[in-house]
Amino acid sequence: GLDRDAILATERLTKNFGGLTAVDEVDFTVDEGELRCLIGPNGAGKSTLLELITGQLTPTEGRIYFDGMDLTQLPPHERIDAGLSVKFQSPHVYEDLTVAQNLQVPLQRVDSGDLEATTYETLDEIGLADRAETPAGDLSHGQQQRLEIGMATTLEPKLMLLDEPVAGMSVEETASVADLIRSLNDEGMAFVVIEHDMEFVREISDQVTVLNQGSIFRQGPIDDIESDPEVKRIYLGE
């Protein structure tokens, strides 16, 4: 079941790949409006956990509850309709379409009341109002990532999942994505952000979950996590 304040809860969620247990009986809970960072060494199971939540992967065992519903058997598009949004690791913008047209792609799935208004509101939010007519392929890496986060926000999700949103970005681009995530979170959107860059984690959130070998290893404020010798040890792979 789902705690009263939770928007997302996984229950003993498990994924085996052959003999490998990538996600191992994970109970992962996110409250409404929360911004949670998910960290852990390479191969810990972070991306697999995210893909189970979005429906890209089917769990071996366990359940996924979201906003009062059991999503475990639903296909990805029905999870999006339920208010779950995702931005995977690599950019997936339509390079030949303009920035404005890209923002309208997700809106074509729904009977959106005011396409223009939503487009311009989102352009403003992601700081690309002056690039509305630019082909997305001409944007910088950071601008493309902001555009893709913008595309994910047009359907007004209750929870957004981001897998390493600032990988390969400059300091300035990283700061602009941090600002965008913080402002969307201030408006009430909950986030799960998978991230390696601890400076970035510190900028956007103080609550961190550490995954290791498919299990939740630690959970708590970033200062406690960063000073924990056991966390340092798993990162060194000892």
Pick the closer one to Mg ion by CB: 80 or 162: 162
Which element (helix H / strand E) includes 70? strand 69-70
Identify whether the C-beta of residue 103 lies closer than 8 Å to the C-beta of residue 169.
Answer: no
Which one among 2, 14, 31, 43 touches ligand ADP, defined by CB under 6 A?
43
Query: End-to-end CA distance of the chain, in Å?
Result: 37
Cα–chain center distance at 198:
16
Name the binder of 45 from Mg ion, ligand ADP, none, CB < 5-8 A by kind: ligand ADP
Identify whether the C-beta of residue 149 lies closer than 8 Å to the C-beta of residue 177.
Answer: yes
Give percent helix, percent strand, percent coil of the chain, each to the nearest 5.
40, 25, 35
Position 144 contacts Mg ion (CB under 5 A): no
Position 37 contacts ligand ADP (CB under 6 A): no
Total residues contacting ligand ADP by CB under 6 A comes to 11
CB of 60 to ligand ADP, least distance (A): 12
Nearest Cα neighbor of 23 from 3, 40, 2 is 40
Tell me, what DSSP letter sits at residue 4?
Answer: T
Which one among 6, 8, 13, 22 touches ligand ADP, defined by CB under 6 A?
22
Name the binder of 108 from ligand ADP, Mg ion, none, CB < 5-8 A by kind: none
Residue 62: strand, helix, or coil? strand
Total residues contacting Mg ion by CB under 5 A comes to 1
Name the one range near ligand ADP by CB under 6 A: 42-50, 153-161, 175-183, 218-226: 42-50
Identify whether the C-beta of residue 159 lies closer than 8 Å to the C-beta of residue 189.
Answer: yes
Give me the 24-63 binding string for Mg ion, x by CB under 5 A, dash otherwise.
-----------------------x----------------
Residues at the contact surface with ligand ADP, assessed by CB under 6 A = 17, 20, 22, 40, 42-48
Residues at the contact surface with Mg ion, assessed by CB under 5 A = 47
